[in-house]
Amino acid sequence: MLKDKVAVLTGGSSGIGKAAAIALAGEGASVVIGDIDEGEARNVARQIEAAGGTALCMRVDVTRCQDNQRLVNEALGRFGRIDIFLPIAGVNSNVSIEEMTEQEWNRVMDINLKGVFWGCQAVFNLMREQRHGKIVTIASVAAKIGGIKSSIAYSASKAGVLVLTYSLAKLLAPYGCNVNCISPGPVDTPFQGTLNEDEREMLRKSIPLGRWAKPDDIVRAIVFLCSDSADYITGEVLDVNGGMLMD
């Protein structure tokens, strides 16, 4: 489905990002992984290569504009093109509004929102000039309904990702590029490791399909939006949440 495509993603060392990197490679794409944890990112790249795929990894701090541009430059230097960009790197936060500090607020916004912007900015001119490209961002059901267990900072950062997606979609549509967003509900990854069993069960009961998402549930939607089958879809927020939010 993605043969001969080049996909660049951040946050590829674990969770949804890791599953996305492996799935995109499995569909034939060459994958470039940027992550703050270079060691784990390298393990993912090795897993892809062991399965016959092509992968490159490097250390990237998504909060730094220069790191995002360096990631893009590295991909171009190695493969000569970028067809797909996935700014997946993100952090959770369960800090209450009463205990929220400026440091925690900035940490969440810097990674979840500013990091997405810097990455998209780094590929913007390239995709506009080549007149093709797919960008898929990751938001959250919390962006639409507010956080149940996630903090107000997390919910606000992911709401910002929605508006960023709409804006980029409008800017790039005249150039044949597609920008869409996946909005998951609870996903069973280390990202949710701060929840206790009672909290996990409470969230499960709020999902009509009766279970948490697996990373592959989200990744299948990502692969679709990166494929030619989604060429006429842009500015869309695809809810993948087991019916937790129906709109």
Respond yes or no: is residue 154 known to be catalytic: yes
Q: What is residue 214's DSSP assignment?
A: P
Please report, for residues 44, 68, 84, 123, 232, the alpha-carbon distance to residue 134 in angstroms, rounded to integers and kept in the order given: 22, 17, 5, 10, 11
pLDDT at 193: 57
How many domains, in total, are found in the chain? 1
SS3 helix, strand, coil % of the chain, rounded to 5?
50, 15, 35
CATH label of the domain that carries residue 68: 3.40.50.720
- The answer as to whether 54 is a domain residue is yes
- The answer as to whether 33 is a domain residue is yes
pLDDT in tens, 103-138: 999 999 999 999 999 999 999 999 999 999 999 999
- The answer as to whether 246 is a domain residue is no
- The answer as to whether 161 is a domain residue is yes
pLDDT in tens, 125-175: 999 999 999 999 999 999 999 876 678 999 999 999 999 999 999 999 999
- Record the tokens describing residue 10, joined without a space: 């951040």
pLDDT in tens, 203-212: 788 889 988 8
Q: What is residue 60's DSSP assignment?
A: -
- The answer as to whether 107 is a domain residue is yes
Residue 194: closest CA among 89, 90, 93, 88: 93
Task: State the residue range of the domain holding 42.
Answer: 6-239
Q: Which of 154, 166, 175, 232 does the annotation list as catalytic?
A: 154
